Structure 1
């Protein structure tokens, strides 16, 4: 069953970081008269409105990480330990970004102990039962959430450039299903999230094994069919393989909810204008919301 609802779930962190670094590389921080940098918020909103104008959602929700520690750190203390502190120019923009989103009547959603990914996974699971869901992100991890009514829209360079993924075409392109993405990451690890997977097994080998044996259980049940090298690597890295799978899986039962009524996309022009003027955004009608 489908409805006319088109729900856009926005990965706030992904958009904010992408927008910040796009201009920070040239030291362009757009500092306002209060001395606060606003480049990340400005670019994030431009990404948001460009996508809204393109996909025409009826509902929008923005999801955030709430602090750096999550249940994954409890399982594996080194999870994301390779990431330094955010740049000093970005720190004040986290709150400003949420305020700007709020001024658009878009709910900010996040829950302590979970990542934005988990909130998006939980909400997409619920909404996709009755609505069309679009996940706007820059994070390939979200591809595991693809299903019948769920599209993942990955931001590419610039504004308005997207790689769209659908459940059907994903298999044709990658040779594995979205659900197998979790096992793929468990085998090969993830350098950006700082967990190793099975030492010595890269993407190519992991894909080959999953195409042949479907799942980690399938691989473990057929160790005799593996090369000697593959077998010994997996046997030696068994504990980390199982742990990496838990780290890789987006948790779709987070304690988060947002009613369709709250998510209904409706902008109060006056409220938006007041916030954008307060942030001292120049030419925002033309440059952010795309109205000349």
Structure 2
């Protein structure tokens, strides 16, 4: 039987559980209730996926390579409540107490750590289940050993879902986002190019490089929109693509889940 790896996007899960308790006026009580619902969610996920390995991954507090490459990255996002931010170490302790390691690496976003863990596990024929609502992980779903699950919508994503959603394969999402941008993370796209137009462009030339090498083959209006955008597209693609080669310094055997 194929082994399974449960990878939970910690902050993604916690922030949404916290937001669901907005009617709780006592901030301390709200944190306590969020901690309780987080452990309930963990218990349900462990029961549902019955993993051989499990980990909860958190973001680093420090700036990442994306901020250095593009200072506007994620600019304008609503900041996390201070009380929730300060409680993060306690959440990590709770997960560890429930036999699931909590992982964070200075200077790295959780997304890159999760992508690296899932990619390396897939290379060893281990099926990874990424628990997150973040659509950025869908770029990994071209590998049938990597799946994504939205805990709140009770919805799973695979490569067929990606094509139905975006009109391109998972492997092409980096180039797709290079054209349309990603407003959530303030990653710029090409002005005037939306999802439908991006699909048409990529049907004609399936990478950023191919687009600009064959610019003269596009209709005049499209060519005008694209002209001069090569470097911005390459930057946007690099920001959107997740790293799968981060030196995390953790062996998979250290993330083995001992069923209780």
Distance 1:29 1:48, change over 3 A: farther
Matches within 5 A, 1:107-256: 107-130=101-124, 131-146=126-141, 147-157=143-153, 161-162=154-155, 164-168=156-160, 170-171=162-163, 174-256=166-248
- TM-score, length of structure 2 as denominator length: 0.90
For this pair of structures, how many residues does the alignment match?
258
Q: Structure 1 or 2: larger helix share?
A: 2
Instruction: Tell me whether 1:46 sits opposite 2:44 in the alignment.
Output: no
- Indicate yes or no: 2:113 matched with 1:94: no
Q: CA deviation at 1:244?
A: 0.4
Q: Which residue of 1 aligns with 2:15?
A: 17
Distance 1:44 1:28 in 2: 19
Displacement of 1:226 in angstroms is 2.0
CA distance in 2, matches of 1:145, 1:238: 24
Task: Give the alignment's TM-score, normalised by structure 1.
Answer: 0.81
Partner Cα distance (2:105, 2:196) in 1: 35
Shift of 1:168: 5.0
Inter-partner Cα distance in structure 2 for 1:174 and 1:237: 22
Superposed displacement of residue 68, structure 1: 4.6
> 2:61: which partner in 1?
67
Q: Answer with 99-108 or 232-241: which moved more.
A: 232-241
SS at match of 2:18: helix
What is the CA RMSD across the aligned residues, in angstroms? Answer: 2.1
Indicate if the aligned counterparts of 2:57 and 2:113 stay in contact, CA closer than 8 A. Answer: yes
**Structure 2 unpaired stretches of 5+:** none
8 Å Cα contact 2:208-2:230 kept in structure 1: no
Deviation at 1:172?
5.5
**Structure 1: where are the runs of 5+ without partners?**
269-292
Query: Could you list the runs of 4 or more consecutive aligned residues of structure 1 that deviate by over 4 angstroms after TM superposition?
Result: none
